[in-house]
Structure formats: structure tokens, C-alpha cells
Chains A and B, each alone.
Chain A
Amino acid sequence: MARSMARSMARCVRRLLTVCAAVSALVSVTSAAWAGRLDEVKARGMLNCGANGEVPGFGLPDAQGNWTGLDVDFCRAVAAAIFNDPKKVKFVATTAKDRFTVLQSGDVDVLARNSTWTSSREAQFGLNATAVNYYDGQGFIVRKDTGIKSARELDGATICVQQGTTTELNLADYFRTNKMQLKSVTFLSLQEALGAYESGRCNAYTTDASGLYASRLKLAKPDDHVVLPEIISKEPLAPFVRQGDSQWFNVIRWTHFAMVIAEEDGITKANVDEMLKSQAPEVKRVLGVEGNFGQQLGLTNDWVYRIVKHVGNYGEIFDHDVGEGSPLKIKRGLNALWTKGGLQYAPPIR
């Protein structure tokens, strides 16, 4: 009896060891998946892009499922650089609340969803903002007939706000700083928050100024509403990636820089083929005629050519998605090139 007991105990131990081995195998498989997001994307043949899905001008699918917007075009540019095909992107609509969790879990490769670059989103969330593709700031929209001319007049007002954004914090800060009384009503989705504002639940709706212009167009009578002049916060919007993969971080960051440089150098979607013949040394480097700067990034040397050819330079996508060529008609403002009084400034490719 003792022997049979020992035998079956040995069997038990063997089985337990098998389980342990299985668990540790699982761990090592997961760690293998951490190496090289760029290689993973290439192998997959598709870029997974976390997008907005609710804000015109930044990320919104139309009735046919075609996505448009500044952030959408950013992901298309990344796909163009990697695959020479801007269509190889799968857009994943994320809410303000779940967007970072989706990126943290690795379900998307990059999060281009008008998200503000903050210290805690890098240090605490384990993410990195790559480059600012839109300089924004938070504002308010109110009904014209209230006669409100300034955000400073909003003492005691009820404000509708979308959940899970820096907006909630800026709002509380602004009212506290100016010793005003605040009543905020928080909603999960932009639609609900805007709907509640429109039905009179709130005196004002607040979000990033770019979003205000976009939201205003969604209201039944846009002309009855006015965006207040105050910008109460800095909102540098940037595409985010996970920490710990510098190669992938570089690809995302330099995709934005490449589009800005292309605008600086006057390389456009229309003239990019002619520009290949340019004698200017910088243009030669940028378009990959000279040097191997693309390969250094893990891409091909014609990566900027691909981006501009398929998607356009920064000025072109800005104009098409949010600027004069779009219903939003947002001025370049802070987003003009540094040479034209704006903040868009890219380090050189060399």
C-alpha cells in the first residue's frame, strides 16, 4: 500500500510539474511577443491603429466605413511607410475611457486618437507620446442667446463633459483657479454629452477646441452656438505607443516628422515624382535618393516618398482633414510650420 501511495504521489508531482511547465511556457510565449513590434506588424501585413470614431476631422468612419481625419491619415502614413500601401490599416474605434488600456494590452500598435501628451500618461501608464501632430487647447461652447462672451462668466454654470479625458481635470482646475462654482455632468460618450448640452441640461459643453468646432457641426442649428475665446489648457495631441520598443517608437515619431519636413521642403503629393530628380541635398536625403536613412529606421529608403505619394505632407492632410479644405475650416494657428509662426518643427533627416 505504501508503495502504491508513493507511486501515485510521484504521478501527482509529475502532473503538477507539467502544469508548471505549461504556465511558464505561456509566460515565455508572451515575452517573445514583446520583441519587435515593427517585425510583428510587417509579418501581420496590417497595422492596427487605435482611432477615435466620433470626432469629425480627427477620426470618424462614414456610412461606407471609410475612415477620415488627421489621426486616420497619420496611421495611413505609417502603413504607407511600412507596406507602400496606405490601405493596410485596421482602425479600431476606442472611447476616451478605454483607449490607453487598449494600447497597453497591445491590441493596437499605435494610438492616434487626439490624445493629450501628459507626464503621467508616460510615467504611470507605461506609454510614450511620439510627436505632437496637433497643438490644441480646451475651450467652451455655449448658446448664443445666453449672451455669454467669456468663460469667466460661467460661475455657477452646469458644464457637460466627456469622461476619461484631461478635460475633466482642466475644467475643475479652471473653475477653482478663478474661484467659480462648477457643476459638471460627465458622460461616457461624446454623443451623449453633446446631446445633453443640446437639450439644455448644461449651460456649456467643453472639450478641446478642435473638437468644439467639430461638435458644433453636429448640432441641429450650429449657428445658435458660439465657441468662447478662452483656451484654458495646453493640449498637445500626439500618437502614443507602448514603452520598451525604441525601434517602433522611432518609426511612429519619424512618420510625423517626415510629413512636416516634406511640407518644409515643398514636397507634395502632386510633385513628389518630380522632386525625385531634385538636386537639393536635403530633398535627396529625405526622398531616399541618397543615404540609407530609411533602412536605419527599419524601413525602406524611399519611406518618405511612399508617405507623401500616398497620403501627402503635413500641410496637405491638415488642410484636407481640418483646415480650409474641410467643413471645419480650422486655421493653422499653432500648427503652422515654425517658419510661418507656428510650432510644427521637425528635426532634420540626416
Chain B
Amino acid sequence: MANAPASTPEVPFLRDPRVRSVLWQALLILLLIAAAVGLFLLAAANLQRAHITSGFGFWNQPAGFDISQTLIDYSSSTSTYGRAFWVGLCNTLLVAAVGIVLATIVGFTIGIARLSTNWLVAHLAAGYVQLIRNVPLVLQLLFWYNAVLKALPNFGDSIHLPGGGYLNNRGLYLPAVDFGGGGDVVLAALGAAIAIMIALVVLARRGRIAAGLATALALAGLIGLPVGAALVSGAQVSFVFPQLSRFNVRGGLEMTPELVALLTGLVIYTGAFIAETVRAGLSAVQRGQVEAAQALGLSRLLTLRRVIIPQAMRVIIPPLTSQYLNLTKNSSLAVAIGYPDLVQIFTGTVLNQTGQAVEIVAVTMAVYLVISLTTSFVMNIYNARMALRER
């Protein structure tokens, strides 16, 4: 208490409110750690007593089951449980990424439509939001799944799409591009082209190069690089057309009804929540801003783009982030309609075959935590950039 003012009576060390608060917090943390360690030891002891195997030894054991949609190589005969985990994770990330983009588009469209001066548009949008927000998501998923299955024709009556695709209730089949072994090189080139494109956009924004030149360069790179890479690597570029076989369509790109139903359900559901967030954000922009824009002679579209939305975004982004997180987490309901996401594969089949509930559920929770934290980290950066800069 050397720096305490001389006028105040000396406070004993442990009576000092600051010292006390630190002590109490330290004690609380210690208690929490003790409780966590206690629970961990208890669980470990109980598992041992119950003769249940624990640990991650199962990770490298062969899985032996089939998965209906695999973005990375997977075979039921040689792949491990660990590989099955990555397959599930990729499927979850696919739904989350595509779902977030589509839900944002739907949400912004409906949110803006709700504020439309057109009576019909505004009320249709309001009806959509009220209906969708108030029905449990899992019911909507089942509805869409059955709707997709019932609406599409049976395999025997497959619709032949122009260009060599097929559509039936087993899925949508499109011709795929095959690079004859050079696929990795072409993918890498495409990645490089996208990176260059982003760099060009940044440079153009900062006024370092002309926007027109940047666009031309970006387009040239986007087409030229992969084509060039394909030529250089000597890859045999060919199209793989889906073929009708006795039971199924074989070859080509396949999009399963489970994926379509899951995406539809998640996008429509989350879109309704985003729409309300967007409406709230737009309504939060002061009327005077619009009037000022009109006084300057800006068109309605330009007013929306340049005046209202930039200000509304500050209100929209934080709740928007939590909608993105909700969509990702809700994708775990995929299990109800047979889409092989992380939960279905890992905490479903793998858990059941290995019986190691504690490890598997812990890993799955950690994965969702990481996905969520990453999403909110990115959104926080975006938020910081959009935030009002006070000068």
C-alpha cells in the first residue's frame, strides 16, 4: 500500500478490495479447474471400471462402412475412422459455406422486400418470415426432403436434361470435367488465379491500377492459368457424361436429394431470420439520411447502395454473425434426412461402431467450437472494418 494516499488510513493487505477481488477470482478459477479435473478423473475411472476402451486408438482403424457423399477420397474397404471424420467435416463445411452464401442472398432480398412500398411484395415477405420462423427446423427439413423425393420422377422416368444431365429422385447428375490425372495441377492453377484476382481487386480499389485493366487481367488469369496448366501438364481434358445403368446414373457430378433438401431447409429457415435482421438494420438508418440523399438527387437504388446499406450494416453484422453460426450448427440436423454430415458419420456410425462416446462427442463439440469461433473471428474483422470511424 505504498502508493496509497497518506490521508487514507492504512488498509490491511487482505482487506484491500482490489487484492480481495483478485483473490476471490483466483479462488473461483482454481475451483473450476478442480471441478473439471475431478469430473475428468471421475469419467476416466468410471470408464475403466466399466471395461470400456478409451483413447483415440480407433482413429487409425478401418471404418468399413459406406458414405453416400464424399468430397475427398474415401473407400469403405481401406479408409479409416479418421478419414471418415474428415469426410463428414468436409460435408458439414460444404453445407455451411453454401448455406451461408445463399441464406444471405435470400435474407437481404426478403429483408429489403419487407420495407417495399409495394403492398403485395411487403406482405408476401412478411408472411414468409412469420411462417418460416415459427415452424421447427427439423419439421421443415423433413418436409423439404419428402417434397424433393415426391416431386422428382422415379429413376425409371428420369428427366434427360439438355447437355447430357439427368434428374430423378436419386439426385441431379451433370457432366463432369475430367483432367485425366492432371486435376491437382489445374486446381492449384485455379487457386492461384483466384488469389491474383483478389490482389488485383485490392490494387484497383486503392487506385494503383485502372479498374478496367484489373478486370481484364483478372478474367484473363482466371481462364488462362487453369487452361495453360492443363496444356503444360499434358492433362487429357474430357467431359464425363452421366450414363444410365440398370439401377442408377453412373459417372458425372452428382447432387443428392439429401443435400438439396438440407440446403433448401437451412437457407429458407435462416434466410427468414436474416431478413428480420436486415429489416431492423435498414429501419435503424435515420429518415434524414434518405432525405439528404434524395436532396442530392441520388436515385433510389444508389441511395440504398451508397447511403442506407453501409450504415445499416453496422447494425446488421453482429446479429448476422450469430445467424451464420446458427446455420452451421443447425446443419447437424442433417442426420434426420440421411445427409452424411459430421454428426451423422462421426457421432453416429463411428460412435456406434467403436462405442467411444466420450472421445467422439468431445471431438465433435471441439470441431463445432472451432468452426463457430473462426466464423465469428472473420465476421468481427469485417465488423471492425465497417464500424463507424470517428475522426
Question: Which residues of A are interface residues toward B (Cβ below 8 A)?
Answer: 1, 4-5, 8, 12, 15-16, 19-20, 23, 26-27, 30-31, 34, 96-97, 100-101, 104, 120-121, 123-126, 154-158, 160, 163-165, 168-169, 171-173, 175-176, 181-188, 192-193, 195-196, 199-201, 203, 242-244
The residue that B49 contacts in the complex, of A12, A19, A31, A185, with Cβ under 8 A, is: A31
What residues of chain A lie closer than 8 Å to B256, measured between beta carbons? 185
Q: Is the CB of B34 within 8 A of A20?
A: yes
CB contacts (< 8 Å) of A186 on chain B: these are 67-68, 338, 340, 344, 348-349
Chain B residues with CB under 8 Å of A182's CB are 66, 76
Q: How far is B47's CA from A23's CA once the two chains are assembled, in angstroms?
A: 17
Contacts of A172 in B (CB 8 A): 64-66, 76-77
Contact A188 B353 (CB under 8 A): no
- The answer, among B30, B149, B354, for a CB contact under 8 Å with A124, is B354
Contact with A along B309-338 (1 / 0, CB 8 A): 000000000000000000000000001111
B357 neighbours in A (Cβ, 8 Å): 101, 104
Q: Is the CB of A188 within 8 A of B336?
A: yes
B336 x A192 contact (CB < 8 A): yes
When A and B form their complex, which 3 residue pairs have the shortest distance between CB atoms, in order from nearest?
A164-B352, A126-B51, A125-B355
Chain A residues whose C-beta falls within 8 Å of the C-beta of B66 in the assembled complex: 168, 171-172, 175, 182-184
- Cβ B352 vs Cβ A199 within 8 A: no
6 pairs, A vs B, C-beta closer than 8 Å: A5-B13, A100-B352, A101-B357, A184-B68, A186-B340, A188-B338
Are A187 and B248 within 8 A (Cβ)? no
Q: Which residues of A contact B27 (CB under 8 A)?
A: 12, 15
* Cβ of B119 under 8 Å from chain A: no
User: Contact partner of B52 among A15, A126, A163, CB < 8 A?
Assistant: A126
CB-CB under 8 A for A187 and B338, given A164-B348, A242-B50: yes
Q: Does B348 contact A169, Cβ atoms closer than 8 Å?
A: no
The answer to whether A201 and B170 touch across the interface, beta carbons within 8 angstroms, is yes
Residues of B within 8 A of A30 (CB): 42, 46
Contact between chains at B349 and A26 (CB < 8 Å): no
- Asked if B31 is at the interface (CB within 8 A of a chain A CB), the reply is yes
User: B385 contacts the other chain (Cβ, under 8 Å)?
Assistant: no
Closest chain B residue to A195, Cβ basis: B146
Q: Once the chains bind, are A121 and B49 in contact (CB under 8 Å)? A: no
Q: Is residue B128 within 8 Å, beta carbon to beta carbon, of the partner chain?
A: no
Inter-chain CB contacts under 8 Å: number: 163
Q: Chain A residues with Cβ under 8 A from B155's Cβ?
A: 200, 203
B149 and A199: CB pair below 8 A? yes
Chain A residues whose C-beta falls within 8 Å of the C-beta of B337 in the assembled complex = 187, 192
- Asked if A201 and B169 sit within 8 Å, CB to CB, the answer is yes
A23 to B43, CA, bound (A): 12
Q: Which of B35-61 contact A (CB under 8 A)?
A: 35, 38, 41-42, 45-47, 49-53
Is B250 in the interface zone, CB < 8 Å from A? yes
Query: Contacts A12-B27, A97-B352, A200-B154 hold; do A173 and B64 have CB atoms under 8 A apart?
Result: yes
Q: How far is the CA of A175 from the CA of B76 in the complex (A)?
A: 10
A6 (CB) vs chain B CBs: closest residue: B14
The answer, among B14, B46, B150, B349, for a CB contact under 8 Å with A199, is: B150
Q: Distance (Å) between the CB of B79 and the closest chain A CB?
A: 11
Q: How far is the CB of B144 from chain A (nearest CB, A)?
A: 13
**Residue B389 at the chain A interface, CB threshold 8 Å:** no
| Extra A-B contacts (4), CB below 8 Å, given A124-B356, A163-B352 | A124-B355, A165-B352, A173-B64, A176-B77
Contact indicator B169/A199 (Cβ below 8 Å): yes
**Chain A neighbourhood of B45, CB < 8 A:** 27
| Chain B interface SS verdict (over half) | helix
B residues bordering A, Cβ < 8 Å? 12-15, 23, 27, 30-31, 34-35, 38, 41-42, 45-47, 49-53, 64-68, 76-77, 146, 149-150, 154-155, 169-170, 245-248, 250, 256-258, 335-338, 340, 344, 348-349, 351-357
- Docked CA distance A176–B63 (Å): 14
Across the interface, name the chain A residue whose C-beta is closest to B34.
Answer: A19
Residues of B within 8 A of A200 (CB): 149, 154-155, 169
Q: Are A124 and B52 in touch, CB under 8 angstroms?
A: yes
> Which residues of chain A have C-beta atoms less than 8 A from B258's C-beta?
185
List residues of chain A with CB within 8 A of the CB of B31: 16, 19
**Which residues on the A side are within 8 Å of B150 (C-beta)?**
199
Contact across chains for A164 and B49 when beta carbons are under 8 A apart:
no
Query: Nearest CB to that of A202 among chain B residues?
Result: B170
Are A185 and B12 in contact, with the CB atoms below 8 A? no
Most B CB atoms within 10 A — which of A97, A154, A195? Answer: A97
Q: A156-B245, A172-B65, A244-B50 are in contact. Are A120 and B338 (CB under 8 A)?
A: no
Q: A109–B293 Cα gap in the complex (Å)? A: 73
- Residues in chain B near residue A26, CB distance under 8 A: 38, 42
Q: How many whole Å from A106's CB to the nearest CB in chain B?
A: 9
Contacts A26-B42, A188-B344 given; does A4 touch B338 at CB 8 Å = no
Q: Is the CB of A201 within 8 A of B352?
A: no
CB contacts (< 8 Å) of B355 on chain A: these are: 100-101, 104, 120-121, 124-126
CA distance A173 to B68 in the complex (A): 15
**In the complex the two chains form, is B352's CB within 8 Å of A156's CB?**
no
Interface pair A169/B353, CB less than 8 Å apart? yes
Q: Please indicate the chain B residues that have their CB under 8 angstroms from the CB of A169 in the complex.
A: 64-65, 353
> Which B residues are in CB contact (< 8 Å) with A23?
34-35, 38, 42
A158 touching B335 in the complex, CB below 8 Å, given contacts A1-B12, A165-B352, A185-B258 = no
Residues of B within 8 A of A123 (CB): 53
Verify A188–B52 contact, CB threshold 8 A: no
A175 to B246: give the CA distance in the assembly, Å.
16
State the CA gap A265–B67 with chains docked (Å).
Answer: 49
Chain B residue, CB-CB nearest to A204: B247
Inter-chain contact A158/B248, CB cutoff 8 Å:
yes
Once bound together, how far apart are the Cα atoms of A196 and B154, in whole Å?
A: 12
- Give complex CA distance A12, B31 in Å: 11
Q: Tell me the bound Cα distance from A163 to B64 in angstroms.
A: 13
Instruction: Indicate the member of B13, B51, B335, B336 with the most A CB atoms within 10 Å.
Output: B51
Q: A26-B42, A124-B355, A163-B348 are in contact. Are A4 and B146 (CB under 8 A)?
A: no
Do B146 and A199 touch across chains, with their CB atoms under 8 A apart? yes
Q: Are A168 and B34 in contact (CB under 8 A)?
A: no
- Quick one: which of A5, A101, A125, A185 contacts B338, CB cutoff 8 A? A185
Contact indicator A163/B149 (Cβ below 8 Å): no
Q: Which residue of B lies closest to A153 (CB)?
A: B246
- Quick one: closest B residue to A187, CB to CB? B338
CB pair A243–B50 under 8 Å, yes or no, is yes
Whether the Cβ atoms of A192 and B64 lie closer than 8 Å is: no
Is B13 in contact with A185, judged by CB distance below 8 angstroms?
no
Contact across chains for B13 and A1 when beta carbons are under 8 A apart? yes
Residue in chain A with minimal CB distance to B354: A124
